[in-house]
Amino acid sequence: MTFNAIFLEKHENGYFSCNIQSIPQAQLTQQSGDTLVQIHYSSLNYKDALALTNKGPVVRLWPMVAGIDGVGTVVSCKTGKYNIGDKVILNGWGCGETHWGCLSQYAYLHSDWLIPLPTSFTPYQSMAVGTAGYTAALCVQRILDFGIKPEQGPILVTGASGGVGSYAVALLAKLGYQVTASSSKKSCHSYLSQLGATNVMDSRQLKDAGKPLQKEQWAAVVDVIGSHTLANVCAQTQYGGIVTCCGLAQGMDLPATVAPFILRGVTLAGIDSVMAPYDKRIKAWALLSQYLDHSLLEQIAKKITLAECKDMAEQIIAGQITGRVVVDVNH
C-alpha cells in the first residue's frame, strides 16, 4: 500500500527538492511511533513554508515528510490509548522537523502526542484552527491566568493578519477585551475589524529601535514578531502587565533593556506550542471550543490541495497570505 505526501530531500551536493511522492506504508511505519493515523486535513504554517521553500533551518533529519499539523482517524494504536476510528489532532512535537509529519495521507505518530478531536469542531475546522489558533489560545490563556481583566486597558496583538494574530484578535474580542491589531497590510483593516479589533495600527510604528521606556498603553500583548517590535511593546506595556511572546517574524534578537521589567514590573512570558504538555493543549482547545466564533473560520481559512502547497508556501514567505491555509491531503 502506498500513500501521497510532501517529501523533502536534501542531497550531498546541497540540492534541495520538494515534491509529492508516493511512499510505501511499510516505509512509514519504520519511523518511530505507535499510532497509525489516516490524515484527513493538514495545514500550511509559516514553519511549513520555511521547510517547503528551504528558506530556514526547520528540517533536522532528511528525507522528511512535511507538516506540523494534522487531523485524522486512528487506524491502529499499539498503546491502547486510542481506539480504531477515533478522531485525533496532532500539533507540533517536532513533526515536519525531526519526525515525518502530516502533509501526507498517513502519519505514524506517538499516541502521547495526540489529543481527541473536540466535538465542537469538524476535522476541517480543527485544521482551520491548527497550530496557529492553538498557539493563540495558549497566549490568551496565559493572559487570563495572569489575571488581566478587560477594564484594565487594551490588549495589543502584533502580526494580527496572520494565523496566530487572527485567532488571538477573535478570542480576545469574544472575551470582552478592547483589542488593538497591529498589521502592515492596509487591505486587512476591514478583515481585522470583522474579527473584533476595535483599533488597527500600522506595524511600522513598532519595527524600529525605540526608547527603553515609552508611554504605557497595553494591559497585555500577544507578540508574534520579536526583535525591535517585541522590545517596543515591552516598553509600552502598563505597570504590572504581561507580554506573551510566541514568534520571530522580524527576527530572533531582542534589542531591549531591563527597564520595563524592573521599573514597571512587566512580565515577558514565552509561549511554546511545540512541546506543550497534554493538559495545556486540552485547556487551549477547550478555550477555542467555548469562545471562538466558528462562523469566522470561513473568513480566516482557505482550502488547497497537496499539489498547491509549494506555490502557497512561496506566497506565505512573501507575506502575501492572510489568515490560515488548510490542506486537503486526499485531493
Residues 149 and 244 in one domain: yes
pLDDT score of 249 more than 90: no
Reported as a single tens digit per residue, the pLDDT across 211-238 is 999 999 999 999 999 999 999 999 999 9
Reported as a single tens digit per residue, the pLDDT across 62-76 is 999 999 999 999 999
> Does residue 255 form part of some domain?
yes
Residues 228 and 308 in one domain: no
User: What's 251's domain CATH number?
Assistant: 3.40.50.720
Provide mean pLDDT across the span 81-110. Answer: 98
Q: Is the dihedral of CA 216, 133, 164, 321 positive or negative?
A: negative
**CA end-to-end span of the chain:** 18
Range 321-325 contact pairs with CB under 8 angstroms and sequence separation of 24 or more: 322/161, 322/162, 322/166, 322/185, 322/188, 322/191, 323/161, 323/162, 323/163, 323/166, 323/191, 323/299, 324/43, 324/128, 324/129, 324/130, 324/132, 324/133, 324/163, 324/166, 324/300, 325/43, 325/44, 325/301
Reported as a single tens digit per residue, the pLDDT across 257-270 is 999 999 999 999 99
Residues 138 and 251 in one domain: yes
* pLDDT score of 185: 84
Residues 143 and 86 in one domain: no
- Could you identify the residue written with the cell 514597571? 264
Residues 137 and 111 in one domain: no
Residues 161 and 256 in one domain: yes
Residues 147 and 255 in one domain: yes
Alpha-carbon 279 to chain mean position = 18
Residues 217 and 302 in one domain: no
- Closest Cα partner for 5 from 54, 56, 67? 67
**Residue length of the chain:** 331
- Could you identify the residue written with the cell 507538516? 67
Q: Kindly state the cell numbers that stand for 308.
A: 498547491
35-43/2-10 β-pairing: unpaired
Q: What average pLDDT is seen over the chain?
A: 96
> Does residue 282 form part of some domain?
no
Provide mean pLDDT across the span 79-103. Answer: 98
* pLDDT score of 262: 98
* pLDDT score of 319: 83
Query: With bands split at pLDDT 50, 70 and 90, how would you rate the model's confidence at 14?
Result: confident
Residue type present at position 160:
A
> Does residue 287 form part of some domain?
no
Residues 104 and 166 in one domain: no
- The DSSP symbol for 330 reads T
Provide mean pLDDT across the span 255-284. Answer: 97
> Does residue 122 form part of some domain?
no
Cross-strand partners of 267 = 242
Residues 217 and 303 in one domain: no
Query: With bands split at pLDDT 50, 70 and 90, how would you rate the model's confidence at 145?
Result: very high
Say how far apart CA 46 and CA 246 lie, in whole Å. 13
* pLDDT score of 221: 98
Helix (H) or strand (E) holding 132: helix 123-146
* Residue 309 domain boundaries: 2-117+297-328
**10 Å Cβ neighbour count for 152?**
16
Residues 147 and 99 in one domain: no
pTM: 0.94
Provide mean pLDDT across the span 243-255. Answer: 94
Question: To the nearest 5 percent, what fractions of the chain are helix, strand and coil?
Answer: 35, 30, 35
Number of folded domains that form the chain: 2
Query: With bands split at pLDDT 50, 70 and 90, how would you rate the model's confidence at 188?
Result: confident
